[in-house]
Amino acid sequence: MKFFDMPDIHDGERLDAFYKKLLDQVPDLIFKMIWTGRDNYAIVYASETVNEMYEMTVEEFKYNTHKFFTDRVVPSDIKDFVKTVKKSGRTMSKWDHEFRVQLPEKGLKWMRVTANPERSPDGVVSFYGRVTDITTRKEQENKMAHSEQRFKYALKAASEGLWDWDMVTNVVYMSPQLMKIIGKEEKEAYYPNTFWLSRIHPEDINMYQSLKGAYLDEASGSFEHIYRIMTDQGKYRWVLSRGKAILENKKPVRAIGTLKDITQLKEKEMELGNT
């Protein structure tokens, strides 16, 4: 068998220049920072991405370390920023921290810094890391959190509880407002579905099971039913339950809905009927 020598791909370009060109194409800010103790930090390398992420040149970033620690960081975030990097340097654990920066042109941005520290024999700690712009993710998280908060307030204002039935595990999530309706402490809980079935009024259970079974067979539209449920105080409350099934491979695997206490309305209805 004849072997051929691999062609020499080196074209005279310096290896460090080659790596620099590659690093400068990475969307994150790549950096190396050294720490000699106390507040003595120095950035010895930064990729060109610093132009976009911090709106400054590499030279400004390297020779003005305070711009990394204070000038661009939102004042209320500076303390934790410095605290986490010092802890990482002392414990030799990964530096992983989220913080905000205020940029001259782009305004407020969320960043995440991750770096691995290495200690040399002379005690100097080197951080090899990256800074990532996580503004989009943070904005999405905030929107979702606000949406969930508005939904919870809306349910509370409407005196409605939320339930979430996992048909695979047969466990039901019950919101704080729902727990309040059945006379329990107002905090979320998880119970097997049998817990709820055991509280339905004996005269209502057969109709409840029949309507629920018929709905799950079709699993289209939404489910709605009025029945009585027993509270921890041993009394029955009239409730209106609404829900909708979630399908996987055309089979219901989960159902989510609301529960509203309509006892006063039902009692007035019955009084009117008697009159």
pLDDT at 157: 56
40 lies in the same domain as 117? yes
Q: How many domains does the chain have?
A: 2
127 plus 193 within the same structural domain: no
127 and 165 fall within a common domain: no
Q: Is residue 148 part of a domain?
A: no
**CATH number for the domain harbouring residue 33:** 3.30.450.20
- pLDDT score of 129: 93
> From the first residue on, what is the mean pLDDT of each consecutive set of 10 residues in the chain (275 residues)?
42 56 76 87 90 91 84 92 94 96 94 95 93 93 74 64 92 92 93 95 95 85 91 95 88 90 88 75
Q: Is residue 138 part of a domain?
A: no
| Confidence (pLDDT) at 3 | 40
DSSP string computed for the chain: ----PPP----S--HHHHHHHHHTTSSSEEEEEEE-STT-EEEEEE-TTHHHHTSS-HHHHHH-THIIIIISB-HHHHHHHHHHHHHHHHHT--EEEEEEEEETTTEEEEEEEEEEEEE-TTS-EEEEEEEEE-HHHHHHHHHHHHHHHHHHHHHHHTTEEEEEEETTTTEEEE-HHHHHHTTS-SS-EEEEHHHHHTTB-HHHHHHHHHHHHHHHHH--S-EEEEEEEE-TTS-EEEEEEEEEEEEETTEEEEEEEEEEE-HHHHHHHHHHHH-
Domain span holding position 58: 15-133
